[in-house]
Amino acid sequence: MIKLGFVVAEFNRDITYQMEILGREHAEFLGAEVVATLHVPGVYDMPLAVKKLAAKEDVDAVVTIGCVIQGETGHDEIVAQQASRKIMDLALEFDKPVTLGISGPKMSRMDAHSRIDYSKRAVEAAVKMVKRLKGD
Ligand SMILES: Nc1c(NC[C@H](O)[C@H](O)[C@H](O)CO)[nH]c(=O)[nH]c1=O
Ligand SMILES: CC(=O)[C@@H](O)COP(=O)(O)O
């Protein structure tokens, strides 16, 4: 069974809560197990938590779940771009898939609601990547 770690942002929790539930349901549907979950304050805080989970022997892949909504400044772009860059670097450093279930930036709250399935997509990508890298 494929073992996943989840890193979930609490910022915009009304939305990330739904994303987390959907991600968990999809993992179960695909026969994967979520063996560890770390909640972090926001998407920008994710890389260290991803690193912790990626270092665990019993975690095959890490799924990130978050939502970056546009404000009045370019802050949303900094948060999303810096975090996604580091998330990808960690996948290469630990030789494990780390998938991007983060919606935004440049997105309204309504856009975010219609993109809660990003978490499902990230779970699906994690499972596919683990299988394919194993050569299954
Ligand atoms: N604006 C959003 C944030 N901002 C908070 C940062 O992620 C971080 O928690 C803070 O800067 C402290 O390090 N986070 C989101 O997840 N979504 C946003 O829209
Ligand atoms: C809407 C937010 O929480 C965040 O993206 C930052 O907003 P702002 O650019 O207005 O500081």
Q: How many residues does the chain have?
A: 136
Q: What is the mean pLDDT of residues 96-103?
A: 98
Banded model confidence at residue 136, pLDDT cuts 50, 70, 90: low
pLDDT for 39:
99
Closest ligand 1 atom, residue 41 Cα: 9
Q: Reduce the DSSP state of residue 15 to 3 states and report it.
A: helix
* Domain ranges within the chain, ordered by starting residue: 3-134
User: Kindly report the CA angle at 135 between 52 and 122, in degrees rounded to 5?
Assistant: 45
How far, in Å, CA of 28 to CA of 71, rounded?
35
- Rounded CA gap, 120 and 122, in Å? 5
Q: What is the average pLDDT value for the chain, to the nearest integer? A: 98
Distances (CA, A) of 123 to 26, 57, 72: 7, 19, 31
List pLDDT tens digits, range 2-12. Answer: 999 999 999 99
Q: Would you give the DSSP letter of residue 68? A: -
Architecture of domain 3-134: 3-Layer(aba) Sandwich (3.40)
Does 4 show up as a binding residue in the annotation?
Answer: no
pTM of the model: 0.98
pLDDT at residue 84 greater than cutoff 70: yes
135 — pLDDT class (breaks 50, 70, 90): confident
Its ipTM equals 0.97
Q: What is the pLDDT of residue 132?
A: 96
DSSP reduced 3-state for 14: helix
- Give the pLDDT confidence of 31-72 residue by residue, as tens digits: 999 999 999 999 999 999 999 999 999 999 999 999 999 999
Take residue 26 and report the two structure tokens written for it: 């999809």
User: What's the whole-number mean pLDDT along residues 98-106?
Assistant: 98
Positions marked catalytic: 75
SS3 state at 37: strand
The helix or strand, by DSSP H or E, that contains position 36, with its residue range, turns out to be strand 33-40
Which residue's CA is the nearest one to ligand 2's atom 7? 71
Is residue 45 a known part of a binding site?
A: yes
pLDDT at 23 over 70: yes
